[in-house]
Structure 1
Amino acid sequence: MLNGRSLGSASAGLAWKPKRGKCVLALVDRAGKVLDSVAFEVRG
């Protein structure tokens, strides 16, 4: 998940156009439980 939105399966490719601002990327299991997450900021 990126900022609360599903990105699909981890094995699938994803074209993502970064936008400025703070982001949270989370790894979730099939039940929706967050296994890990990281916060980062896109600058420039």
Structure 2
Amino acid sequence: MKAFVTGATGFIGGRLAAKLREQGHEVVALVRSPRPLDEGLKQIFAAS
């Protein structure tokens, strides 16, 4: 399954994205600024 997570650098969104990846899902994260996330997590930037 493909998942789109907003707030992936936050408390809840980060844990949700990690859990989805752990279960083998493809995750794309919407973030405000670039920062290191879990390996295999694709990022889309909302602002710079």
Same fold (TM over 0.5): no
Bigger CA radius of gyration: 1
- Output the TM-score relative to the length of structure 1: 0.27
Structure that is richer in helix per residue: 2
- Output the TM-score relative to the length of structure 2: 0.26
Structure that is richer in strand per residue: 1
